[in-house]
Amino acid sequence: FPSIESVFHSFFSTIHEKTLLYDMQESATEVNVYIFGKLENKTDSAEFLSKIMSKAAGKKCSIDFSHCISIGNAGLKMLIDLHDALAEQGENCVLNALNDRCRQMLCISKIDTMFTIAKK
């Protein structure tokens, strides 16, 4: 029989590939979003954006990429949509802890000019 660890890893990998994994923490003044794995699942983007926008009004918004390994095309589109929605409300978002691969994707696509990118 397979070990519990291998079953868990297999299950998590399957969920991970099909679902946008994130956590959101909110205080009275800010909303912090933590991305896990890959930012690329377009089927979850509307729900993701809706949740952020419902919490971000009048607050500082940041997205932490310290656990994000890559950003795909759908993830880039999601970030553009987030920027546009926040800009309509006069808000912006800070992107934190980008690894070199994620930072490169944002630079190539020029999306890095749309957000405040925190220094490493």
pLDDT over 80 (residue 27): yes
| Alpha-carbon span 69 to 39, nearest angstrom | 8
Q: Is the pLDDT assigned to residue 57 strictly greater than 90?
A: no
Residue type for position 114: M
Which CATH architecture best describes the domain 4-117?
2-Layer Sandwich (3.30)
pLDDT given for residue 10 in this prediction? 47
pLDDT at 4 over 60: no
Record the pTM: 0.78
What is the per-residue DSSP string for 20-75? -EEEEEE-SSEEEEEEEEEE--GGGHHHHHHHHHHHHTTSEEEEEEEEEEEE-HHH
CA pair distance 8, 11, nearest whole angstrom? 5
Average per-residue pLDDT for the chain: 82
The answer on pLDDT for 65 being more than 90 is yes
Average pLDDT over residues 98-115: 93
pLDDT for res 2: 52
Would you give the end-to-end CA distance of the chain in angstroms?
44
